[in-house]
Structure 1
Amino acid sequence: MKGDHPAYPASSVVSPLSSAIWLCADDYGIARGVNTAIRDLIMRGRLNAASVMVVPPAFTRAEARSLAILNNGTPRAAIGLHLTLTAPFRPLMPGFQPLRDGGFPLLRDLFKAGLLRRLNPATLAAEIDAQLSAFTAAFGRPPDFIDGHQHAHLAPQVRDAVLAAAKRRAPGAWVRQCGSVQPAIKRLGDPKGLLLNAFSRAMRARAQTLGVPTNPAFAGTYGFRSGADFARKFPRFLDALPDGGVVMCHPGHVDEELIRLDPLTDLREREYAYLAGDTFPATLARAGFALARPPIIQAPESRPE
């Protein structure tokens, strides 16, 4: 398989007349309210991928089972690892550097350390392996894909370690690259997206060298300001999105744990309301898209020891 295509074939699309996309809810595991909202949308057929954080206290074996069971019978969603390397979360392994109050660094400090080649390759690899092991222990199999909380997997040094781990620990899994196919001139109002696009170039090149699959395009970035209108922004995410493209989203219900851990709160409720409502499927169909069908995955209990 080429290194610039997702592991799941575009032919798994719901309708032969539509383009297949992956609508992925990030942050499963961060808080129960988020977990519940994501599972509800998967059951409704409004999501076909969920990215799981294994380091927050709210991620438990029970929460993993509640998600995995949705794939019994006809698979509803691909389930991936949302690699977490930034504050306020804490490493699973000792020795990770740099630290901030005993936890992971802020995103800017992680990228700075990577740019300056100051991340310890051994401890970085150990942490990535630990999170992959935690995922595999909880779900009984490796992740379908790997990405990063706050896109930390794109940081210099981190991206190399992630791709190496994916090739070794999760063969066949694709790694999220966050580059868009839209011309930069059309994305001047999305500085975050432009920055991710720049960091994704090196990710794509390295992935292709290693033979690790990546998604052909990515969308879903916007300024997480309190007045942001997700319903108006979503149709723009679909502009020029190719078959197999990934759209990121963050639906959820706000609870005390989420408020304690993350500033993204009320916007999660808005995203959930839009994705659960009647406008979303009509918008998707009108744009010529459908959600790709995940492949049939062998149940963990039937896998050989």
Structure 2
Amino acid sequence: MTRLLIVTADDLGLTRGVNAAVRRAHEDGVVTATSLLAVGQAFDDAVAMVRDLPALELGAHLALVGEDPPLLSAREVPTLVDRRGAFPLSYRAVVLRGLAGRIDPDDVRRELGAQLDRVLGAGVPVTHVDTHQHTHLWPTVGAVVAELAAASGVPAVRAPGSHGHGPVGLGVRVLARRSRSTLRAAGRATTADYAGLDEAGRLDTVRFRRTLAEAARRGAPTLEVNCHPAVAGDPDLRRFTWGYRWADELAMLVDPQVRESIASAGFTLGGFADLDRYGAA
């Protein structure tokens, strides 16, 4: 029996170049879903695009970190921002604040609720929720994300994980187990397996094939792989210092050999709406 593969392009709305890359990766490649960044500078352009692509599943990419500002003011969400009203740049700040007990779940609920409402307002069915830099792995954030998804009727939430070695991989796996329990308790569907955190920004053709082969050996019935395509030379990406090879990921996603590799590994492309047929985790 074939297994379900969902290929999700994250950061839709980050720049117009990212939007154009997601469109091409869907129309000419293997991307079946995307996640829209409500705080992104190219949000309106992204909304116009997804309305024109009914086969591309839309998710909400909720942010508590990053270079783009929150939707709410510092006065409304004081534990999430600095005095300028800016998010921290890295998920590490969320972890440190969480460990210190300095994240107010009500602040998280207000900001992420506003972001989810903005994506829902696009007028396109929203099939899933995930977070920028996977901050919903942190239990306080994850509980709010599951709650918001359930209250809004969004059926699925990403369950990130790691198959890497070392302390980061171990920490992610510990948090991921708790995250999956939270999602089950909230009645939200997710895939049984996941890849993309370990490979973020470096998912070229060779690594994608290796990722598929490793997932096939694990044998889970459903797999999400998230990626980060962008067009080469996008000037609006210069402000980001992530070191991502955005254009390499786009080239991989439209490579005809990748589609052949997916079939050879025993996967069928689909979306979060197909989870019920394959047995959602």
- Fold-level similarity (TM above 0.5): yes
Deviations 1:196-219 (A, max 9, x none): 322111111122222222221111
What TM-score does the superposition give when structure 1 sets the normalisation length? 0.79
SS at structure 2 position matched to 1:39? helix
**Alignment length, in residue pairs?**
264
Give the equivalent residue in structure 2 for 1:66: 49
Q: Which amino acid in the other structure matches residue 259 of structure 1?
A: R
Which structure 1 segments of 5+ residues have no match? Answer: 1-16, 297-305
Q: Does 1:50 align with 2:34?
A: yes
Q: Which amino acid aligns with 2:173?
A: N
Q: Which residue in the other structure is 2:263 paired with?
A: 285
1:252 aligns with 2:213: no
Further displaced range: 158-167 or 272-281: 272-281
SS in structure 1 opposite 2:52? helix
Distance in 1 separating the partners of 2:137 and 2:200: 20
> Shift of the alpha carbon at 1:66?
1.0
- Aligned residue type for 1:173: P
| 1:268 alignment partner in structure 2 | 246
Q: Whole-Å Cα distance in 2 between the matches of residues 23 and 220 of structure 1?
A: 10
Give the equivalent residue in structure 2 for 1:175: 157
Inter-partner Cα distance in structure 1 for 2:134 and 2:270: 23
Secondary structure of the 2:139 match is coil
Contact 2:59 2:128 in 1 (8 A): yes
Deviations 1:72-124 (A, max 9, x none): xxxx2211001111032211112222424421123211111123332112221
Q: Give 2:50's aligned amino acid.
A: L
**Which amino acid in structure 1 is aligned with residue 161 of structure 2?**
G
Contact 1:192 1:221 in 2 (8 A): no
Deviations 1:48-78 (A, max 9, x none): 0101101021211x3212122111xxxx221
1: distance between equivalents of 2:222 and 2:36?
Answer: 20
Change (3 A) 1:213 1:117: farther
> 1:143 and 1:220, CA in 2 relative to 1: closer, same or farther beyond 3 A?
same
- Tell me: higher relative CO, structure 1 or 2? Use CA pairs within 8 A at least 6 residues apart: 1
C-alpha distance in structure 1 between counterparts of 2:272 and 2:175, whole Å: 28
What is the identity, as a one-letter code, of the residue corresponding to 2:2?
Answer: S
Q: Runs of 5+ in structure 2 lacking a partner?
A: 275-281
RMSD: 2.3
Q: Which residue of 2 aligns with 1:36?
A: 20
2:204 is aligned to 230
Task: State the shift of 1:194 in Å.
Answer: 4.0
State the identity as a percent: 30
